[in-house]
Structure 1
Amino acid sequence: MIELKASLNKIEELKGKIEELEAAMDRDHIMGETLTQVREVANHLQILVIQANMLSLRYELKSDRGRKLAWLLRKVKAL
């Protein structure tokens, strides 16, 4: 009877460990997804910076209004 109770306790302990491991796996999956999304956002921001640079150069040469727009684009890029 004592051995049976010890076995049941061990089973319950192992069930708890399994639940902890499953929760850790879920957290790791969520972190992986988050990291992927952060990388995608960073790539998109790099593209926007390049586009802002191109627009800045393009409008800077055209007129006073273009220079003002170029200045504004540089400010946006600095964000």
Structure 2
Amino acid sequence: MYKGDNYKKKFHEISNAWNQRINDNILVLSQENTRPIEEHLQVIPSELEIVKQDFKKWSSELGKKIEKLEEEKIQLGLDADVQKLKIDYKKLRLSMRTAVLGKTSEQWH
């Protein structure tokens, strides 16, 4: 079996058969089925992660609304304080006028 001219031919055929068998076990990617590496690495968020993101967004929006309401509350408080000061000022002017009218001309000099 391993003698003569036929030996080289048989050896070549057997070698090619083994190479073919080894190469058949290797996957070859076709261009049609390939996807970019970014798609393979893309992480799909879980339902819990989506809920967390929605909660953070909602919480942030509520925080902004609370800050705005607190500013409005402070502004309304300041407006109320200004109104109270105006009333107190009017009362003070009225009491000063009353006090001045009660003085005699001698007390002015």
- State how 1:1-79 maps to structure 2 within 5 Å: 2-4=44-46, 5-61=48-104
Q: How many residue pairs end up in the alignment?
A: 63
Runs of 4+ in structure 1 deviating by more than 3 angstroms, as ranges, are none
- Unaligned 5+ segments in structure 1 are 63-79
Q: Distance in 2 between matches of 1:29 and 1:61?
A: 50
Q: What TM-score, normalized by structure 1, do the two folds share?
A: 0.65
More helix, by proportion: 1
Spell out, residue by residue over 1:22-72, the C-alpha distance to the aligned partner (whole angstroms, 9 max, x if none). 21122112111111111111111111111111111111229xxxxxxxxxx
More relative contact order in 1 or in 2 (CA 8 Å, sep 6+)?
1
Letter in 1 for 2:45: E
